[in-house]
Each structure stands twice: as structure tokens, then as C-alpha cells.
Amino acid sequence: MLNIVIFGAPGSGKGTQSDKIIAEYGVAHISTGDALRNEIKKETELGKTAKGYIEKGQLVPDELVVGILASVLDSLGKSVPGVIFDGFPRDIEQAKILDKMLAERGEKVSTVIGLEVDDAELVKRIILRGQTSGRSDDNEETARKRLETYHAQTQPLREFYIRQGKYARIEGVGSIDRIYSDIKAAIEAVK
Ligand code: AMP
């Protein structure tokens, strides 16, 4: 199976490029952010707890996110050709959990697509997205906190995957199609 991790800061284009990868490769999409927003919408206990963290731009505790991930992974039919992990892992601990969950299913991470975009551009994009996304965390103040969280907790994962030879660096500024063609080349290299 093709197990793709799409990696990058908030606003780096993970959702947009995931849609293109899914359209071409037919892989299943697992977005922990979408799954958490769905819990908030349904007003579940988990959603209520997660909301506080999301609105502060902080990571939701692992035990909540990992439970969601496991249930989505187990709900996938056997016929899916692969999975795209969007927004997970967010720190080294989660990366180790993902490796373990995949190993238990006889799988491993195939490649990590790293979308690289500078902070000034990220803040601009998140504020712009906030005009239509309806997401309560797409405002300038929370965007800056999310970027701090990204640099402190998530970015170290880049080195983690570089050391494993799994990190495909993608220049994340430019046209959507050019960025996608670089992503496609990286996927084809591991297929
Ligand atoms: P996203 O849609 O991926 O930008 O995620 C939105 C928010 O959901 C993040 O700022 C976190 O608060 C939370 N979140 C999403 N995925 C994770 C994760 N893997 N671990 C912890 N928190 C997460």
C-alpha cells in the first residue's frame, strides 16, 4: 500500500494537494484536523475537549487524536490502494505511534511529502482562508500560535524523516499545478 504522509505548517497547502493526490491515486484521506472538527460539530465530549486546544492553537492530546486515527484506519476497506495522512503525525511521539500502528497492519510509511513555505506567506494564506473556511482558528492571532506550535513540536519531525531517507522536500510556493507535479514525481519514485 501507498502510505503517504503530507507534512507542512498550517497553510502550507496540505489539504489542497491532498485532494489532487486522492483524485489521481485513489488513496483514502485521513485528516485528524477534519476528524476533530467533525467531533466538535457533533458536540461530542471529545469535540468539547478538543475545541479548547484548537482555539488556542495548541496540539490536542495524543490519546484523543490516536483513538480517532485508529478508528478511521480500521474503518477503511481492504481495497483501498493506500492512505494519505494529513495533519498526523504532529510530533515525534505521534510519528512513532504511526509507525507502530502501520507495522501492526503489515505496513510502513512510504514517503513524507514536505511542503515548505515561509512563515509570512503562511500567515497571509491562513487569514485569506479564514474569509471562507468558517474555521475559528483561521485568524491572525491563532495562526501565529499555530505556527509557534508547528516550529516547536512538529518541525523536528522533518529531521526525523530526513534521517530515515523518507522526506521529499517540495517547494510549497508557486502554482498549485507545479507544486503537484513535484509531489507526483516524489510519489512515483516510491511506487
Ligand atoms: P489542521 O486541520 O490539521 O490544521 O488541524 C487543526 C487543529 O487540530 C490543530 O491546530 C490542532 O489543534 C488539532 N490537531 C489536528 N491534528 C492533530 C494531531 N495530529 N495532533 C494534535 N492535534 C491535532
Say if CB 115 and CB 7 are below 8 A apart.
yes
Q: Is 9 in the pocket of ligand 1 (CB under 6 A)?
A: no
Q: What pLDDT is recorded for position 126?
A: 96
Residue 101: exposed, middle, or buried by beta-carbon count in 10 A (0-12, 13-18, 19+)?
middle
**144 Cβ neighbours under 8 A, 6+ residues apart:** 57, 123
Distance in angstroms (rounded) separating the CA atoms of residues 159 and 126:
25
Say if CB 168 and CB 113 are below 8 A apart.
yes
β-bridge partners, 6: 86, 113
Q: What is the pLDDT of residues 157-186, one digit of tens each?
A: 999 999 999 999 999 999 999 999 999 999
Distance (angstroms) between ligand 1 centre and the Cα of 166 equals: 22
**168 Cβ neighbours under 8 A, 6+ residues apart:** 111, 112, 113, 114, 183, 186, 189
Give the model's confidence band at 147: pLDDT under 50 very low, under 70 low, under 90 confident, else very high: very high
Q: Is 37 in the pocket of ligand 1 (CB under 6 A)?
A: no
- Does the active-site annotation cover 90? yes
Q: H-helix or E-strand containing 167? A: strand 167-171
Distance in angstroms (rounded) separating the CA atoms of residues 179 and 13:
9
Whole-number mean pLDDT of the chain?
96
Q: Is 36 in the pocket of ligand 1 (CB under 6 A)?
A: yes
Residue tagged 471529545 (cell numbers): 46
Residue tagged 508547528 (cell numbers): 150
Mean pLDDT calculated for residue range 65-70: 92
Report percent pLDDT > 70 for the chain.
100
Q: What is the pLDDT of residues 41-54, one digit of tens each?
A: 999 999 999 999 99
The model's pTM? 0.96
Give the model's confidence band at 77: pLDDT under 50 very low, under 70 low, under 90 confident, else very high: confident
- Does the active-site annotation cover 146? yes
pLDDT at 78 over 90: no
> What order of strands is seen across the sheet that includes strand 28-31?
28-31, 82-86, 2-8, 111-116, 167-171
- Does the active-site annotation cover 14? yes
Greatest extent of the chain over all pairs of C-alpha atoms, in Å: 42
Distance in angstroms (rounded) separating the CA atoms of residues 147 and 38:
23
Q: What is the pLDDT of residues 99-141, one digit of tens each?
A: 999 999 899 999 999 999 999 999 999 999 999 999 999 999 9
Distance (angstroms) between ligand 1 centre and the Cα of 169 equals: 22
Distance (angstroms) between ligand 1 centre and the Cα of 164 equals: 24
